Structure 1
Amino acid sequence: MKALVLAGGTGSRLRPFTHTSAKQLLPIANRPVVHYALQAIADAGIEEVGVVVGHHGDDVRRAVGDGSAFGLSIAYLNQPRPLGLAHAVAVARPFLADDDFLLYLGDNHLEDGVAGFVRRAAAQRDAARLLLTPVPDPTAFGVAEVDDDGVVRRLEEKPERPRSDLALVGVYAFTPAVHEAVRAIRPSGRGELEITHAVQWMIDRGLRVRAETTTRPWRDTGSVEDLLEANRHVLDRMEGRVDGKVDPHSVLVGRVRIADGAVVRGSRIVGPVVVGAGTVINNSSVGPYTAIAEDCRIEDSAIEFSVLLQGACVEGAARIERSLIGREAVVTAAPRPPQAHRLVLGDHSKVQLTS
């Protein structure tokens, strides 16, 4: 079995970050999201991986390399425009050949990986196997209607009136039968070749499509809130370790990981927290579930439940929380309001002053 990882797309819900980088490269606990996908694929025993890239393809290539760091052999496949998941499968057809393959959306994070899913797909070789999870609001997802035997009867893309609460997670196993389906379907109303339409085409022609459901933590990291939640889940499983310099006036509480080259002075850090190499934290408080990347500077500030990208600087911020701060971004304290007002008012004037 091969794997196909999608690392293109526009990432509209993560703008402005995706104007300058692929959404799959945003970090969870200081590692790009796509690294977790590749590690999960390697742990499942798959060795050949095609990575579909778009506008930020060069950035993905630099971050991932040839795959040897994961024990993988990676081929890069260019999708000039984001025309849908099924279109990405069509682009990858020469790479996939007639092999079974795992389709994995590169901005997804599954805490338990995909090893069991891949093993079951290989043992019970249906035309397609889908991974599902129950969600509170299915209208934002592809939704599956499944019978008592786990056979998929119907798929809908972002339905107004969902027939179930089972959403497509973004992990699929396919046999080569999917290629005929991709060729047969036409673009949807939003101008994309939908993978749900391809799967439904197979169902309508009597091919067996099976589903399995997970209730384990899963995040589509396509929004800031979901990225922060995925970061929280990963940090919860992290072990503490101090390789950098922490002065005697600082306090570390709980699981805190300080990378070699990082410096902490006169600060209090309550884990789980990860601090990247070259970062300096001075006279500050860093609260739980915060990931600070390399070469950042935190000065006279308080921050928690946030993600800071490489080179970010926060100075004089009384309190920051639930925030995503981009590369080389600078946050400083605003000027204080004046302590007194000096007025020169003409006749019949009316002025309102803030307290």
Structure 2
Amino acid sequence: MSTDAVILVGGFGTRLRPLTLSAPKPMLPTAGVPFLTHLISRLREAGITHVVLGTSYRAEVFEDYFGDGSRFGVDLKCVVEQEALGTGGGIRNVAPALRADTVLVFNGDNMIGVDLVDFVETHVKTDADVTLCLTKVEDARAYGCVPTDVDGRVEAFLEKDPNPVTDQINAGLYAFKRSVIDTIPTGRPVSVEKETFPGLLASGANVRGYLTTSYWRDFGTPTDFVCGSADLVRGIAPSPAVPQTGERLLMPGSSVSPKAHIYGGSTIGTRTAVGAGADIDSSVVFDDARIGAGAVIRRSIIGKGVTVHPGALIEDAVIGDGASIGAGTELRHGARIWPGVDLAEGSIRFSSDL
């Protein structure tokens, strides 16, 4: 069956600053390649090859890297959103670029392992106007909940609640009939969660839920980013784009001392050097970084061109591009270091933005 895919990648990625000051969130290196590459490779694997990117912030970065998509086995087009239109408005904005009657829509910062072919086939078989992919979480208080009846029909879209009525949440993947997309208003912001989906329910439309137990993670926060990248490296999250799976991923051109310890699904970027005795666990180190002897990095993101001097300790932190972390420095508990900052030897920072 003919199916188009839309990936919404227009956000500013504020939760991942300062890394997103230089690149949009979906373009940050994740298990060796830009995160968006994993989504596109999964679409290609499922036989869905017409892909439309709904872009806004730093749109040129997507266009320069992906081009027409042929290098990645897809036919890709970027549609730029000139002003913030929300999720629904962003979907409506790309409508002129669509070709098929069935359209998959992805949030560009979610990784989901659902069987895409079965998801589309179920949507068509049930003649749904919209099908939402749903997943269960242990604690749904931080999410909008989507209860369904015994036949899988969506009953409501509920805001975050301290006492959620269900553990089913929106996984950020939808299948639309093209005709439904054409009914979304133009020229103003529209939220699918607050306006489009509730409106469809009120009108009696056939809105379905598709519950999956497959892998799912929102890569929007530093903690989820490093965990998700590690899951990709270790083969827990599915992606044909991962160069190799295991306890670590060393990109071509990296230089790692045989006395360094790199594990937990860590990625070491291209042209990055890691000194003897360095200990890197469950972390993402971007290209052109320098990690000194005996440095310890745990559950952190190290930006492009960063220098970590010998003996520094970095835990649960985000280091912006080009920063320099002095010898013996300690960074913990969510510390974020802005690009180009030079921290003196022996500095200690906790949950600080510099």
Q: TM-score normalised to the size of structure 1?
A: 0.81
Quote how far apart the aligned CAs of 1:165 are: 2.2
CA distance in 1 between counterparts of 2:302 and 2:25 reads: 15
- Give CA deviations for 1:209-260 in whole Å, capped at 9, x if unaligned: 1111123331111111111221121122289979xxxxxxxxxxx7443333
8 Å CA contact 1:178–1:202 kept in 2: the answer is: no
Q: Deviations over 1:61-90 (max 9, x none)?
A: 223222123211011101112221100112
Give the deviation of 1:136 after TM superposition: 3.8
The more displaced of 14-23 and 111-120 is 111-120
Alignment map for 1:2-21 (pairs within 5 Å): 2-21=4-23
Secondary structure in structure 1 of the residue aligned to 2:78 = strand
Compute the displacement of 1:205 (Å). 1.6
Give the counterpart letter for 2:172 in structure 1: G
Question: Is 1:263 the counterpart of 2:255 in the alignment?
Answer: yes
Gaps of 5+ in 2: 237-241, 328-343, 348-354
Aligned residue for 1:294, secondary structure, equals: coil
1:98-150 superposed Cα distances (whole Å, 9 cap, x missing partner):
62200011111124563432333244331111011122443433321200111
More displaced, 205-214 or 59-68?
A: 59-68
- Counterpart of 1:280 (choices 249, 253, 273) is 273
Task: Report the Cα distance in structure 1 between the residues aligned to 2:279 and 2:243, rounded to whole angstroms.
Answer: 15
Q: Aligned to 1:322, which of 310, 316, 320?
A: 316
- Greater mean deviation of Cα atoms: 28-37 or 282-291: 282-291
Number of the residue aligned with 2:352: none
Give runs of ≥4 in structure 1 deviating > 6 Å. Answer: 238-242
The one-letter code of the counterpart of 1:200 is P
Shift in CA distance, 275/127, structure 1 to aligned 2, threshold 3 Å: same
Counterpart secondary structure, 1:274: strand
Q: Is the 8 A contact 2:30 2:284 kept in 1?
A: yes
Per the alignment, residue 174 of structure 2 pairs with 172
Which one has the largest radius of gyration? 1
Does structure 1 retain, via aligned residues, the 8 Å contact 2:92–2:182? no
Q: Which amino acid in 2 is paired with 1:49?
A: V
The residue type equivalent to 1:13 in the other structure is R
Report the Cα distance in structure 1 between the residues aligned to 2:28 and 2:82, rounded to whole angstroms.
21
Structure 1 residues 202 and 241: CA distance shift in structure 2, 3 A: closer
Correspondence for 1:194? 191
Unaligned runs of 5+ in 1: 243-253, 338-355
Tell me the percent identity.
27
Give me the whole-angstrom Cα distance separating, in 1, the residues matched to 2:182 and 2:312: 58
Structure 2 residue 209 is matched with structure 1 residue 215 = no
Q: 1:127·1:175 contact (CA, 8 Å) conserved in 2? A: yes
Helix, strand or coil: the match of 1:153? coil
After TM superposition, the structure 1 = structure 2 runs for residues 222-301 of structure 1, keeping only pairs within 5 Å, are 222-237=220-235, 255-265=247-257, 267-271=259-263, 272-300=265-293, 301=295
2-structure distance, mates of 1:336, 1:260: 32
Which residue of 1 is the match for residue 300 of structure 2? 306
Q: Which moved further from structure 2: 55-64 or 109-118?
A: 109-118
Question: SS at the partner of 1:287?
Answer: strand
Distance (whole Å) between structure 1 residues aligned to residue 235 and residue 226 of structure 2: 15
Equivalent residue for 1:133?
135
Whether the aligned pair in 2 keeps the contact of 1:178 and 1:198 (CA below 8 Å) is: no
TM-score by length of 2: 0.81
What is the root-mean-square deviation of aligned Cα atoms in Å?
2.7
Question: Match of 2:332?
Answer: none
Q: Distance in 1 between matches of 2:99 and 2:252?
A: 45
